[in-house]
Amino acid sequence: MMLELLWPFVAVLAATYVILFGFLKKINEWYYVSKLGKKQHPLPPGDMGWPFIGNLWSFLRAFKSQDPDSFIHNLIKRHGPTSIYKTHLFGSPSVIVCCPELCRKVLTDDEHFSLGYPSSAIKLGGKKSLHGVQSSEHRRLRRLISDSINGHQALALYIDHIEDIVIPSLEELSTMNRPIKFFTEIKRLGLKVIAQVLFGSIEDSVLSSMVKCYTELFPGVFSMPINVPGFTFHRALKARKKLVKMIGDEVDERRAKASVLADRKKGMMDLLMEVENDKGE
């Protein structure tokens, strides 16, 4: 008797869930599409997801899985192989393109397209970072720094730093008599290389602290920008604050002891500190 009463209740509950949330999705899509007003061309297929969060949860779930392309594959399965879809990610209505021709058009057409990043990436990178500035300012900063960090002299420095980290780390891993998580170890190794290339000679304790902070910061780039304790973005902001202080302290120390530290290995930061603008400053 109890089972006979339970099944109709579960069915009604499931139907209510589907109808309610399906209705919310429709309302959400109507809201964003109606804001566009009269359109010259129809929008591509797709959906705007849930109110406020859009399709971010399904995107992050795919991104963190063993098959990150599953998000795109799901769009193709649901809406057909059109190579262009509407969606809602990182707090903004978005259009996804996923074929080489369209991607090339977006990335090379500066007249109709400009750089844009999730607000979480902008806040964590900083308003003055290369992905935080636009047009002429972006080109000016890129011109100032690109030669100093990409030239033959710089690349020769980086090779030494990479060898100093990679060779001992791989030798240490090879001597372990227990299984290791390859991806985790290689990611940790990559972060050490980045820090070493950036700073050159640096104390091991500082290097380890920076790697730890960057490990906490990176997941925040692909997260909802919710600055509340317990959320990924909040932890990333705290890690960024620590990183900024450590980097600032390192820059101040190198400026104060430039002559004393002349013999140590240089890194990208040393090359950047030597860059001069058009006025020789």
> What pLDDT score does 13 carry?
63
The answer to the question of residue 167 being in a domain is yes
Instruction: Give the per-residue pLDDT at 260.
Output: 61
Give the structural domain span for 67.
2-113
Say if 122 falls within a structural domain.
Answer: no
For 202-253, how does the pLDDT look when each residue is reduced to its tens digit (9 = 90+)? 777 887 888 888 888 888 887 878 888 988 899 999 999 998 998 888 888 8
State pLDDT tens for residues 131-167.
767 767 777 777 777 766 677 777 777 888 888 888 9
Closest CA to 167 of 191, 133, 193: 193
Please indicate, yes or no, whether residues 206 and 265 belong to a single structural domain of this protein: yes
Closest CA to 198 of 260, 243, 142, 237: 243
Mean pLDDT (the chain, rounded): 80
Q: Are residues 142 and 213 in the same domain?
A: yes
- In this prediction, what percent of the chain has a pLDDT beyond 70? 87
Q: What is the pLDDT of residue 32?
A: 82
Quickly state the pLDDT bin for 92 (edges 50, 70, 90).
confident
Considering only residues 42 and 262, tell me which one the structure prediction assigns the higher pLDDT. 42
What is the pTM for the complete model shown? 0.67
Longest dimension (CA), the chain: 88
Q: Domains in the chain: how many in total? A: 2
What are 168-216's pLDDT values in tens digits? 888 988 888 888 888 888 888 888 888 888 877 777 788 788 888 888 8
Expressed in angstroms, the distance from the first to the final Cα of the chain is: 86
Same domain flag for 78 and 165:
no
Mean local confidence (pLDDT), 103-132: 81
Q: HEC profile for 199-221? A: HCCCCHHHHHHHHHHHHHHHHHH
Residue 278 lies in a domain: no
State the average pLDDT over residues 12-35: 70
18 and 92 housed in the same domain: yes
